[in-house]
Structure 1
């Protein structure tokens, strides 16, 4: 069948809106009619070859929609099910058995290969040319997507706003899960969150859910600092106004229990490290500007104060349980992520990328 997709054809180039042929779902797959798909920084860094990905490609990994067709052997799902699309994992390795599928042994090939691993085939074709698919097991910058059934999370709440739920499958679960699951911040603890994009603001909301007593957002854009206050931040810091470590230490002289970096900037991570208390922990989720970037740690100080640095993937989320939890929190008014969202037609993806880069909006959701 024919569908419409946004195709990435060259690094740092515009996406092109094209009519493509999409496969029928094969064994273990479903076809989903996309109601909305989030635009994530990760889509752009793979387009731009921060990590190799075969172009041309249909990217997109924060989709939500309705199942239209089932491949052989798919159980527990039905045509007509409303679903959020998460990432791919094998379901069989040690980490998957621990309900930590984002650390799956096969995560890189299953999410970054751009093809079916069984035979190297791709789900999209344009004018006889195979187009890379299965990005994060879904490639949802399209009106229809072929998705591995294990990616799919059913939405049981009939009133949940399906068109904007897709970002729960990556960016929002990364921010909220980083605080609620990876760091597991206890009630009454303190946290400094660096970066006020969708991941950082999701972390602010997650910290409020956890009952953190001091929630600080470090963010240069004034409108985002104000939004963070409305979402639960107790304090905000403008990193352009002076030394960030000093500003954080002025709030809590003994240091913060937790820090959470969404920026990927070495200077920002070092500043947050300098504001940790004894036994403090910092979680890192921000992709750095360069794959070679690294931070410097004073080994003696790290030992003396027992401080911890942890890398976090997808908020340590088990999507089958955590995404429904976030939907329930949203229903109860405790995770109002809709306040971050601005929708654009999929056909305006390039305009949406520019608007997000300018800071005109926090989280773009594309509507096919």
Structure 2
């Protein structure tokens, strides 16, 4: 069925749009926040891939807190939230069609999906695409109409979230978001297990390995032990860090952190009269950590992390704080202590290089991501979100 031009598409692109055919697929369409009942599993149409795009048949997609941040929180979540759209950004699947100019993969290749980047700005050319100058518009912007209502065929549903919108069985994916794994992944089961490597697991472990460049001399603290934080624990173990401290309030997460390599754990709900900083200093010879990673985005924890990190230490912000939060620093004191405060996105990773490394570590038994994950049918997305929030499941993976 030929697609009709959407009113959201600029006139200059309508001729191209009208030349594309539509295919029917299932997708979780975000019409409003999840809290308001706005996520619906629907049958929609998806257009053909254009230049620099691929049509990927998903076999799985991880669920990440960023999906909830953008499409789950009451009140619209963020300035970059809009509806309707298809979210999802930890996809894996097989290439079904390729658009003009695509060289990263061919039809039938298994692929893992990660974030989008321009590959043209000075930061991308310097090998740091996770901090691309166009990161926000490319990954969060839109509407980038890809999907449409089953009846009518109009492209009025946004796609290419993080270049992929993997909450759809068939989705149009940007070439830059594709990691071809035809030489390393041979089964559908492995492709499903590896789906979250392109975001949450990459973010956590990469922050330790690529951003912090941790070594065996480091005492490291990781605040928040969800999928990102526990992946950071695994990264710290790979790097052989001297002391690895995990901080959380959920007992099951703290126990799992120990299984994954934490040398110490702190239950933030059981500190009593002791401050978090004092508890951490007690475990680091009174010095505080040389590396502090916050995955929570909680302002009070961020402020404490700046204080208890030792002189010349690194504070790395990974969790998304409230959009109106401003961090006040006593600049003279901060200067004198020689501390570094930096942000990290996607673990400072270049996915085509870093994702295969994680697969190799898993096969060597050094990166047990299977302890974080749980496969669930796509239709169980409500249950997946609930279990992710209450700690029952660290990293739900929705399967098609």
Question: Quick check: TM above 0.5?
Answer: yes
The corresponding residue for 2:15 is: none
Give the deviation of 1:344 after TM superposition: 1.4
Give the deviation of 1:198 after TM superposition: 0.3
Superposed counterparts of 1:151-190, under 5 Å: 151-155=177-181, 156-159=183-186, 161-190=190-219
Q: Which runs of 5+ in 2 are unaligned?
A: 1-22
Residues of 2 paired with 1:296 and 1:113: CA distance?
A: 29
**Alignment RMSD, CA only?**
1.3
Are residue 49 (structure 1) and residue 73 (structure 2) matched? no
CA pair 76-42 structure 1, distance change in 2 beyond 3 A: closer
Among candidates 331, 335, 339, match of residue 299 of structure 1: 331
Q: Deviations over 1:133-181 (max 9, x none)?
A: 1111111101111101111001121357101212111111110110000
Q: Note if contact 2:159-2:165 (Cα within 8 Å) is conserved in structure 1.
A: yes
The corresponding residue for 2:309 is: 276
The corresponding residue for 1:3 is: 25
Residues of 2 paired with 1:158 and 1:107: CA distance?
A: 28
Q: Note if contact 2:225-2:248 (Cα within 8 Å) is conserved in structure 1.
A: yes
Residues of 2 paired with 1:51 and 1:361: CA distance?
A: 29
Q: Note if contact 1:352-1:364 (Cα within 8 Å) is conserved in structure 2.
A: yes
Specify the SS of the correspondent of 1:237.
strand
The corresponding residue for 2:261 is: 232
Q: Which runs of 5+ in 1 are unaligned?
A: 117-121
Residues of 1 paired with 2:253 and 2:117: CA distance?
A: 34
Residues of 2 paired with 1:13 and 1:84: CA distance?
A: 31
Residues of 1 paired with 2:326 and 2:370: CA distance?
A: 34
Are residue 73 (structure 1) and residue 101 (structure 2) matched? yes
Specify the SS of the correspondent of 2:29.
strand
The corresponding residue for 2:128 is: 100
Q: Deviations over 1:216-243 (max 9, x none)?
A: 0011111111100010000001111222
TM score, norm. by length of structure 2: 0.88
Specify the SS of the correspondent of 1:77.
coil
Superposed counterparts of 1:324-363, under 5 Å: 324-363=356-395
Superposed counterparts of 1:136-215, under 5 Å: 136-155=162-181, 156-159=183-186, 161-215=190-244
Aligned residues: 362
Residues of 1 paired with 2:229 and 2:389: CA distance?
A: 16
Would you identify which runs of 4 or more consecutive aligned residues in structure 1 move more than 3 Å? none
Q: Deviations over 1:6-31 (max 9, x none)?
A: 01101233310100011111111001
Give the deviation of 1:297 after TM superposition: 2.2
Give the deviation of 1:337 after TM superposition: 1.1
The corresponding residue for 1:314 is: 346
Q: Note if contact 2:252-2:391 (Cα within 8 Å) is conserved in structure 1.
A: no
Residues of 2 paired with 1:124 and 1:153: CA distance?
A: 23
Specify the SS of the correspondent of 2:234.
helix
Larger Cα-atom Rg: 2
Give the deviation of 1:271 after TM superposition: 2.1
Give the deviation of 1:89 after TM superposition: 0.7
Q: Note if contact 1:192-1:272 (Cα within 8 Å) is conserved in structure 2.
A: no
Residues of 2 paired with 1:307 and 1:358: CA distance?
A: 34
Residues of 2 paired with 1:149 and 1:250: CA distance?
A: 48
